[in-house]
Amino acid sequence: MDRADIKKALKDPHKWGEKYSLWVTYFCTGCGIIEIPPVITARWDAERFGVIPMATPRQANLFLITGYVSVKTLRAIIITYEQMPDPKYLVAFGSCPIDGGLYYTSYNTINHLDRYLPVDGWIAGCMPRPEAIFIAVTKLWKMIDGEMVDGYKRYKENIDYYRKNQERVLGREFIESIPPLVTVRT
């Protein structure tokens, strides 16, 4: 950290803490999970960057989707995302959540996760290596610093668009079972 970063951190410690405290909840639906353990073990040591795995979504602010998304798992992903406190960031890891990957022609695969939830970042590849996670984290830091990460705000502002797409795939019963979003002012 250089002097400019120290001055910036002292000027706005909340923003600095938000940037360097990425507490992760993983949604592991496929082969993407195989790259996560190396990231949190001694060789890569994600904790030195402030990236710490959390037990529940209510404690996390970074949601990492690692693998293909099916109709069944989309339900759980939406519920998990909505349980996370603001500000929250969603990053799609691998080709599958981006465009369906190898399973793009399957009837049960969700292509384009960004139609159902606001994706703040994409890590392309099949499977991306651990280095790609760190590149994504540093890019996310820059985006947080420049106030360019606003997926959670876009979700609330465009909830009708997201709910319409969610309802088209999951049905009206699912949408009615979700509690309404509560806006908390900070």
**CATH number (domain holding residue 28):** 3.40.50.12280
For residues 101-116, average pLDDT: 85
Q: Which domain holds residue 88?
A: 22-177
pLDDT at 10: 65
Q: Does residue 17 belong to any structural domain of this protein?
A: no
The predicted structure's pLDDT at residue 153: 92
Taking residues 69-95, report their average pLDDT: 90
Three-class SS state of 108: coil
Side by side, the strands of the sheet bearing 62-66 are 51-53, 22-28, 62-66, 89-93, 121-123
Is residue 157 very low, low, confident or very high in pLDDT (cuts 50, 70, 90)? very high
Helix (H, G, I), strand (E, B) or coil at 28: strand
How many structural domains does the chain have? Answer: 1
- Residue by residue, DSSP assigns 84-99 as SPSS-EEEEESHHHHH
Asked if residue 15 is part of any domain, the answer here is no
Residue-level pLDDT at 181 = 67
Cβ–Cβ < 8 Å for 41, 133:
no
- Rounded Cα distance, 128 and 93, in Å: 7
What pLDDT sits at residue 183? 52
Domain-embedded: residue 93: yes
Is 6 among the domain residues? Answer: no
CA–CA distance, 162 with 182 (Å, rounded to integer): 16
Rounded to 5°, the CA angle 162-166-169 comes to 145
Other CB atoms within a 10 A radius of the CB of residue 26 amount to: 19
**Which two tokens mark 28?**
């592991």
Instruction: Please compute, for residue 165, the number of CA atoms within 13 A of its CA located in the half-sphere on the CB side.
Output: 16
How far is CA 117 from its chain centroid? 9
Mean pLDDT of 141-170: 90
> Could you tell me if residue 50 is inside a domain?
yes
- For the segment 3-26, the average pLDDT, to the nearest whole number, is 70
Instruction: Answer yes or no: is pLDDT of 19 > 70.
Output: no
**Residue 13 forms part of a structural domain:** no
In terms of pLDDT, which residue wins out, 82 or 95?
82
Query: Is residue 161, in this structure, part of any structural domain at all?
Result: yes
pLDDT of residue 186: 47
Asked, for residue 163, whether it belongs to a domain, the answer is yes
